[in-house]
């Protein structure tokens, strides 16, 4: 995984990759910056240390809050409203694109909601994987819908393991 931050806020986070270089390449794409502008930091703030711990626990099947400040300054007001609403969806639960559009009081904006989620730079922390199609299928997820299914199933199994009903 690769992560970027500024001013004690997350700016971008990738999903796990087989190769670290691929994660960095993905991060550069999310941030829309050339690879040469990304710098590996030896001084990692406590925010990132805590994020790393939570990610390790999450992928080991333990419940995590991912309650971190996220930099959404790059968003349009619409994108910001969609991403903020996505953060309100409870752990282990899903909503449809239409339901999320309703949450932002724009019920006809289903496709636009999908577009805003596609731009999410902080996957998992802003849980866009919890948004599915009306027929129950995962929908898009950066061309990797299997990741979305994996994350939804992982959260559901964590809830079951912890006797949390959703």
**Residue 92, SS3?**
coil
| Catalytic one of 75, 110, 128, 159 | 128
Q: Which two tokens mark 121?
A: 């730079």
Known catalytic residue at 128: yes
The label of the residue with tokens 């990304």 reads: 38
Burial profile 145-161: b = 16 or more Cβ within 10 angstroms, e = fewer = bebbeebbebbbebbee
Cα 130 to its chain centre, rounded Å, is 9
Which spans in 2-144 are helix H? 20-31, 46-59, 77-86, 97-103, 110-118
Residues 11, 17: contact at Cβ < 8 Å?
no
Q: How far apart are CA 146 and CA 140, in angstroms?
A: 9
**Would you name the residues annotated as active-site residues?**
128
């Amino acid at each position: 995984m690769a992560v970027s931050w500024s001013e004690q806020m997350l700016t971008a986070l990738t999903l796990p990759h087989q190769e670290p270089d691929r994660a960095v390449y993905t991060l550069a794409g999310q941030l829309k910056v050339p690879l040469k502008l990304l710098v590996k930091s030896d001084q990692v703030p406590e925010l990132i240390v805590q994020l790393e711990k939570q990610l390790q626990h999450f992928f080991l099947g333990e419940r995590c809050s991912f309650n971190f400040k996220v930099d959404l300054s790059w968003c349009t007001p619409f994108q910001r409203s969609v991403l903020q609403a996505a953060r309100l969806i409870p752990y282990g639960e899903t909503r449809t694109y239409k339901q999320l559009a309703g949450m932002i009081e724009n019920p006809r904006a289903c496709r636009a909601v999908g577009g805003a989620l596609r731009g999410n730079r902080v996957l998992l922390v802003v849980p866009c994987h919890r948004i599915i199609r009306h027929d129950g299928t995962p929908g898009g997820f950066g061309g990797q819908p299997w990741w979305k299914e994996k994350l939804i199933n992982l959260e559901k199994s964590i809830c079951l393991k912890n006797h949390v009903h959703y």
